[in-house]
Amino acid sequence: MPIKILMVCLGNICRSPLAEGILASKLPKNKFTVDSAGTGSWHIGHSPDDRSIAVAKKNKINISNQKGRQFSTNDFDAFDYIYVMDNSNYSDVIELAKNEDQKEKVHLILNELFPNENVDVPDPYFGLPNGFEIVYNMLDEVCNVISKKIIEKHQ
Ligand code: 4NP
């Protein structure tokens, strides 16, 4: 059984599709699967934002085939690790958890880089054009830490 990791943001079109593509590129495919979802329902079935697709492509990662979906309570059982992009995603997901085991699967992603600091990956959707570049670099850095940690733990 592969180890399953889920990346979660609000819309599932900007941040979590990037996080999915970046982490998947750092993990061996035979042992790990990576997916993403949004807490909101606006972008179900949509492709990632063009700006996320572009910054990923610039870094040789193809996320253009991903399709948006909404986080579901089934995801707590289906995934081993759930990484959320910001504090608001964290509250939304934790609110849906039924027990402590489910809550323990949920991690604020940048706490892997800056433990206990509860730093958000900023939502680039309405922001400056270079917001996507900034988010890409943050996610690339934290996914280096996550991939090393998970590979070590499950070898
Ligand atoms: P994301 O960004 O959570 O990084 O995918 C957003 C994209 C769209 C919306 C909100 C956040 N929206 O409200 O449509």
> 47 lies in which domain range?
3-153
36-47: average pLDDT:
98
Look at residue 139 and give its three-state secondary structure. helix
The pLDDT value given to residue 136: 98
Gap between the Cα atoms of 108 and 116, Å rounded? 9
1-24: average pLDDT:
98
Domain of 83, CATH number, reads 3.40.50.2300
Residue 94 binned pLDDT confidence (cut-offs 50, 70, 90): very high
Strands of the sheet containing 106-108, edge to edge, are 32-38, 3-9, 81-84, 106-108
Count of domains for the chain: 1
Residue 129 binned pLDDT confidence (cut-offs 50, 70, 90): confident
**Pocket residue to mutate for ligand 1, from 7, 12, 14, 132, most atoms within 8 A of Cβ:** 14
Digit-coded pLDDT (tens) for 49-60: 999 999 999 999
Residue 22 binned pLDDT confidence (cut-offs 50, 70, 90): very high
Q: Are strands 81-84 and 32-38 parallel, antiparallel or unpaired?
A: unpaired
Just list the catalytic residues: 9, 15, 123
Look at residue 60 and give its three-state secondary structure. coil
The pLDDT value given to residue 155: 87
Residues 52, 66 contacting (CB under 8 angstroms): no
